[in-house]
A = this chain, B = another copy of it.
Amino acid sequence: MSDDARARGLGLCSRCHVRKASLRLDYARMSLCDECFVKFVERKVERTLEEYKMIERGDKLLLALSGGKDSSALLHIIKSLAPDVKLTCLHIDLGVEGFSEQCRSKAEELAGQEGVELEVVELRSFLGCTMSELASRRRKACSPCGLARRYILNYYGNLWGATKIATGHNLDDVLAVLWDLYVAGDLLQAVRLQPVTKHAHPKALSRIKPLIELTDFELKAYADIKALPYSPAQCPLGRESKLNKRKKLIDAIESMRPSFKHTFFKTHVKRVSPLLGPLLMARATDWRSCAKCGMPSKGEVCGMCRLKEDLKKG
C-alpha cells in the first residue's frame, strides 16, 4: 500500500505526522498511515457501538460470519474492543458452487485465529437444497436466500440464548438499499433500516450493525492491513451485481459531492426517521407466531415455512 501512497503523493499521515500516509479518505479530508487508519476504524466502531447502545450489559451476541471482508473485520474489531463479550459466530454455508467453499474455509480460519466458537449451518440441512440447486430451479435466488439467512440467524440465536444478532452490514450496503427506497418513495420501509432494529415478537432478536458508518473501501483496507483471512469472492448468483451497480452510482455521487454517504446516512437516522416515526408506529407490523414453526411471522405461516412447502412441491 505504501507504493500506492507514494505514487499518489499522499505525503505524511494527517494524524501522527510521522509515518507516510498509505491511504486517503476524501470525505474526512485525511490521509492516514496503516497504524493510524487501524485506530481510526476501531475508534469509529467503538463510537457507533456507544452512540446506538448496541452492546449492553449481559448481552450475548450471535455474530453472522460470512467469510467476507466485512464480517471478518467485525469479528476482529469486536474481539479487540470488547474481548470479554459473550460471542458465538454462525456461518451459513449456502452451498453456492465455486463460492461457498472458500467463504466457509476463511470463516473457519478466522474463528480459529480469534479463538471464538463457530457454528456452521448448511443451508441444505435446513431447506433441503443448496442455493445452487435452488437457483437452477428458480430464476430469482436472492430473495429466498435473504429470507433463509435472516430466518436461520434468528432461529439459532434463539436456540443459543443470544440476546442480539450482529451483522457486518456497512455504510455502502445500507446506502445502496436506502437509495432505492428513497427513489421509490418507500420511506416507511426505509425508516425500518436502522443501526439497531427491534421487533415486538419475543423470538425476533434485536439486530445491530456496528460497521454501519464504515465504507467498503475502509473495511477492505482494514482487513488487508490486519491480514485477516477473508474471501474476496462475490456470489455468482446475481444479487451482488445489482447491489454493486447501485454502489457504483453512490460512489460516483460521493466523488462529486464528498461526504454524501455520511451526510445521507446521518440525515436518514437523525432527521427523517424521527420525523416519520409516528407514521411508522401507526402502521407497525402485527407480528404473530408461525403456526408451523412458532417463529415470528407476518401471516398465519412464516415465509420460511412457505418457501419449504414450495420447494417440496418442486
Which residues of A come within 8 Å of B, CB atoms? 182-188, 248-249, 252-253, 256-257, 260, 263-264, 267-268, 270-272, 275, 278-279
Contact at B279–A185, with CB atoms within 8 Å?
no
A8 to chain B, nearest CB (A): 24
By a CB distance below 8 angstroms, the chain B residues around A271 are 184-187
By a CB distance below 8 angstroms, the chain B residues around A186 are 271
A136 to chain B, nearest CB (A): 31
Report the separation of the CA atoms of residues A186 and B263 in the bound assembly, to the nearest whole angstrom.
Answer: 13
Contact at A272–B185, with CB atoms within 8 Å?
yes
By a CB distance below 8 angstroms, the chain B residues around A256 are 248-249, 252
By a CB distance below 8 angstroms, the chain B residues around A252 are 252-253, 256
By a CB distance below 8 angstroms, the chain B residues around A248 are 256
- The residue from B183, B249, B272, B275 contacting A263, defined by CB atoms under 8 A apart: B183
Closest to A182 in B: B182
- The residue from B187, B260, B270 contacting A272, defined by CB atoms under 8 A apart: B187
By a CB distance below 8 angstroms, the chain B residues around A257 are 249
- The residue from B249, B267, B270 contacting A183, defined by CB atoms under 8 A apart: B267
A273 to chain B, nearest CB (A): 9
Report the separation of the CA atoms of residues A183 and B271 in the bound assembly, to the nearest whole angstrom.
Answer: 10
Closest to A274 in B: B185
- The residue from B184, B267, B278 contacting A185, defined by CB atoms under 8 A apart: B267
Contact at B249–A185, with CB atoms within 8 Å?
no
- 22 example contacts (A-B, Cβ-Cβ < 8 A) are as follows A182-B182, A183-B260, A183-B263, A183-B264, A183-B267, A184-B263, A184-B267, A184-B271, A185-B267, A185-B268, A185-B271, A187-B271, A187-B272, A187-B275, A188-B275, A248-B256, A249-B253, A249-B256, A249-B257, A253-B253, A278-B279, A279-B279
By a CB distance below 8 angstroms, the chain B residues around A183 are 260, 263-264, 267
Closest to A266 in B: B185
Closest to A268 in B: B185
